[in-house]
């Protein structure tokens, strides 16, 4: 039973119902979700505003969100307060920008002031290389230089990330795909926190407090205060730690969504920000629903499956931020409500809740159709309430462009592997 803002009570499936393996799987899925958001959101930017919009918005997007969520994860997993290279690396290992397995990243610390990391394989590079060397340089040079350093600033303003080598690859099959040095120079001029990160730090999302429950199964690390692993796997953590990690990853997802909308609005206006976000939500939520159906072992054929996915979907996580209620109203229908909650009380007007408040529910339609292609969403008309009816009486129409874009990627083909042996820790 959850008590939501405003005193509304509801029964829901908390993430803590899952065991360590299922939570490790879910954490990787949430990381992938952030990558689907990037693919669909940046595709909408290119279509609506030209290729040049991608570079500008992507830089501001990651610079605005990553310092905020880096500090949150440091605190949540017990390694905050140390400004060393190891702390920077631990944060990178637990962030959606380095989605596990889509990116095969390894880390080595030489001293508190120096270390290196390298990507044996980079899924984003494999996505981009077919578009040519200019596209690769935009991603691996123009975008990574400022955004990598913005992430480091969250731990130490005198830290710098510099490439040993990076794409375009010469020779074309070079492995590892890239390698970077991270160095802390006490004499270096400290980098200032990006203005966009300062703005994001003031959101209710950035300040949300996530409670931790005690594990009801044994094993695993309760935090990451101990030694750093060259390659971290989520199965190494306890059930309690993984419940927090999954919810923090959901916070990362929504910080990136909000930062992107904020940047698009600043450059192209509020209407443009809503349009990009709706395209993003419609495509990425659809494919995430498909993946969650498989993860939960559902057929996707009935309203109960739709409800089950809604209860877990990162679009409405963490529950401390979203006041979601889903009620089965008949054999083939349900009602979804958003009650008073921190998401609806954000002052900045950005985030996917802004779409729903504006009456734009194509993203919500994408989410339920990813479970069952016949699902449809209509506003239920309750006065002063954000409320939608979900029915399974629609036609099995062709998948929209935003879903086709999400599915036409290396990312969509990613099949995640379990590290079952680590559950014995």
Structural tokens at position 129: 């290389």
Number of H helices, E strands in the chain: 14, 10
Q: What local confidence, expressed as pLDDT, does residue 382 receive?
A: 66
Q: Same domain for 102 and 235?
A: yes
- Given a cut of 50, whether residue 9 has pLDDT beyond it is no
Q: What local confidence, expressed as pLDDT, does residue 314 receive?
A: 97
Structural tokens at position 95: 């962030």
Is residue 326 within 8 A of residue 387, CB to CB? The reply is no
Q: Does the residue 34 lie in any domain?
A: no
Q: What local confidence, expressed as pLDDT, does residue 357 receive?
A: 94
User: How much of the chain, in percent, has pLDDT values that exceed 90?
Assistant: 87
Q: What is the pLDDT of residues 353-376, one digit of tens each?
A: 999 999 999 999 999 999 999 999
**Residue whose structure tokens are 């991603």:** 139
Q: Does the residue 12 lie in any domain?
A: no
Q: Does the residue 5 lie in any domain?
A: no
Q: What local confidence, expressed as pLDDT, does residue 383 receive?
A: 61
The rounded distance, in Å, linking the Cα atoms of 326 and 307 is 7
- Assign 384 a pLDDT band (cuts: 50, 70, 90): low
pTM of the model: 0.95
Quick one: how far is CA 29 from the chain centroid?
9
Among 400, 393, 283, smallest CA distance to 334 is for 393
Which of 187, 210, 240 is where one domain is finished? 240
Q: Does the residue 106 lie in any domain?
A: yes
Q: Same domain for 234 and 260?
A: no
Among 202, 236, 211, 196, smallest CA distance to 94 is for 236
- Given a cut of 60, whether residue 331 has pLDDT beyond it is yes
End-to-end Cα, the chain, rounded Å = 31
- What is the CATH number for 324? 3.30.1380
Q: Same domain for 136 and 283?
A: no
Q: In the predicted model, what is the mean pLDDT of residues 248-273?
A: 98
Burial (CB < 10 A; 0-12, 13-18, 19+), residue 99, is: buried
- Given a cut of 90, whether residue 282 has pLDDT beyond it is yes
What residue numbers bound the domain in which 233 lies?
A: 50-240
- Assign 394 a pLDDT band (cuts: 50, 70, 90): confident
Q: What local confidence, expressed as pLDDT, does residue 217 receive?
A: 82
DSSP per residue, 5-37:
GGG-EE----GGGS-HHHHHHHHHHHHHHHHHH
Structural tokens at position 187: 């004499």
Q: What domain count does the chain have?
A: 2
Lowest mean pLDDT among 144-148, 327-331, 392-396: 392-396
Which of 191, 212, 240 is where one domain is finished? 240
Sheet with 103-111: strands ordered across: 103-111, 114-122, 178-184, 159-165
Q: What local confidence, expressed as pLDDT, does residue 139 receive?
A: 96
Strand partners, 181: 116, 162
Q: Same domain for 380 and 350?
A: yes
Q: In the predicted model, what is the mean pLDDT of residues 288-314?
A: 96
Q: What is the pLDDT of residues 95-120, one digit of tens each?
A: 999 999 999 999 999 999 999 999 99
H or E element: which one contains 410?
none
Q: Same domain for 182 and 269?
A: no
Q: What local confidence, expressed as pLDDT, does residue 169 receive?
A: 97
Q: Same domain for 221 and 283?
A: no
Q: What local confidence, expressed as pLDDT, does residue 156 receive?
A: 97
- Given a cut of 70, whether residue 10 has pLDDT beyond it is no
Is residue 161 within 8 A of residue 89, CB to CB? The reply is no
Q: What local confidence, expressed as pLDDT, does residue 396 receive?
A: 78
Q: Same domain for 222 and 296?
A: no
Q: What local confidence, expressed as pLDDT, does residue 2 receive?
A: 36
Is residue 352 within 8 A of residue 257, CB to CB? The reply is yes
Structural tokens at position 318: 């963490």
Which of 240, 264, 298 is where one domain is finished? 240
H or E element: which one contains 327?
strand 324-330
Is residue 270 within 8 A of residue 291, CB to CB? The reply is no
The rounded distance, in Å, linking the Cα atoms of 193 and 148 is 13
The more confidently predicted of residues 412 and 13 is: 412
Sheet with 376-379: strands ordered across: 324-330, 333-338, 386-391, 376-379
Q: Does the residue 418 lie in any domain?
A: no
Q: Same domain for 229 and 258?
A: no
Say which DSSP state 190 is in: P
Q: In the predicted model, what is the mean pLDDT of residues 156-174?
A: 96
The rounded distance, in Å, linking the Cα atoms of 181 and 109 is 10
Coil, strand, or helix at residue 87?
helix
- Assign 349 a pLDDT band (cuts: 50, 70, 90): confident
Q: What is the pLDDT of residues 15-36, one digit of tens each?
A: 878 999 999 999 999 999 999 9
Q: Does the residue 70 lie in any domain?
A: yes
Q: Same domain for 328 and 231?
A: no
Strand partners, 107: 117
- Given a cut of 80, whether residue 6 has pLDDT beyond it is no
The rounded distance, in Å, linking the Cα atoms of 231 and 103 is 11
Q: What is the pLDDT of residues 57-78, one digit of tens each?
A: 999 999 999 999 999 999 999 9
Q: Same domain for 276 and 227?
A: no
Phi and psi, residue 187, nearest 5° = -90, -5
Q: Same domain for 139 and 201?
A: yes
- Given a cut of 60, whether residue 4 has pLDDT beyond it is no
Q: Does the residue 20 lie in any domain?
A: no
Q: What local confidence, expressed as pLDDT, does residue 337 receive?
A: 94
Q: Does the residue 178 lie in any domain?
A: yes
Q: What local confidence, expressed as pLDDT, does residue 372 receive?
A: 95
Q: What is the pLDDT of residues 184-241, one digit of tens each?
A: 999 999 999 999 999 999 999 999 999 898 878 889 999 999 999 999 999 999 999 9
Q: Same domain for 230 and 281?
A: no
The rounded distance, in Å, linking the Cα atoms of 27 and 18 is 12
Q: In the predicted model, what is the mean pLDDT of residues 139-151?
A: 95
Mean pLDDT over each residue of the chain, to the nearest integer = 93
């Amino acid at each position: 039973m959850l008590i939501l803002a405003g005193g509304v009570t509801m029964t829901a499936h908390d993430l803590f119902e899952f065991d360590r393996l299922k939570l490790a799987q879910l954490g990787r899925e949430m990381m992938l979700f952030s990558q689907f958001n990037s693919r669909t959101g940046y595709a909408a930017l290119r279509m609506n505003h030209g290729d040049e919009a991608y570079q500008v918005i992507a830089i501001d997007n990651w610079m605005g969100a990553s310092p905020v969520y880096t500090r949150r994860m440091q605190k949540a997993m017990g390694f905050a307060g140390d400004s060393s290279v190891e702390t920077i690396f631990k944060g990178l290992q637990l962030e959606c920008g380095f989605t596990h397995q889509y990116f095969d990243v390894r880390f080595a610390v030489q001293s508190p002031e120096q270390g290196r990391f390298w990507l044996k394989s980079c899924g984003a590079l494999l996505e981009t290389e077919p578009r040519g060397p200019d596209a690769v340089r935009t991603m691996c040079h123009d975008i990574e230089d400022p955004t990598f350093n913005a992430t480091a600033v969250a731990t130490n303003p005198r830290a710098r990330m510099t490439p040993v080598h990076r794409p375009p690859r010469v020779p074309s099959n070079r492995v590892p795909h890239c390698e970077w040095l991270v160095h802390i120079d006490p004499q270096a001029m400290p980098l200032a926190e990006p203005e966009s990160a300062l703005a994001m730090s003031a959101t209710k999302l950035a300040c949300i407090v996530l409670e931790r429950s005690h594990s009801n199964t044994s094993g695993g690390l309760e935090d990451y205060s101990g030694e750093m692993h060259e390659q971290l796997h989520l199965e190494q953590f306890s059930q309690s730690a993984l419940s927090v990690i999954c919810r923090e990853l959901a916070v990362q997802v929504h910080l990136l969504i909000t930062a992107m909308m904020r940047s698009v609005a600043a450059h192209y206006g509020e209407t443009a920000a809503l349009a990009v976000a709706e395209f993003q939500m419609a495509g990425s939520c659809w494919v995430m629903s498909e993946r969650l159906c498989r993860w939960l072992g559902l057929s996707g054929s009935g309203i109960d499956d739709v409800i089950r996915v809604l209860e877990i979907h990162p679009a409405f996580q963490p529950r401390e931020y979203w006041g979601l209620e889903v009620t089965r109203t008949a054999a083939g229908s349900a009602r979804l409500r958003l009650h008073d909650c921190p998401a609806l009380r954000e002052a900045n007007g950005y985030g996917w809740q802004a779409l729903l408040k504006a009456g734009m529910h194509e993203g919500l339609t994408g989410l339920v159709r990813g479970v069952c292609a016949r699902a449809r969403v209509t506003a239920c008309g309750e006065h002063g309430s954000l409320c939608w009816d979900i029915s399974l009486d629609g036609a099995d129409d062709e998948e929209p462009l935003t879903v086709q874009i999400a599915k036409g990627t290396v990312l969509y083909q990613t099949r995640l592997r379990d590290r079952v042996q680590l559950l014995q820790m």
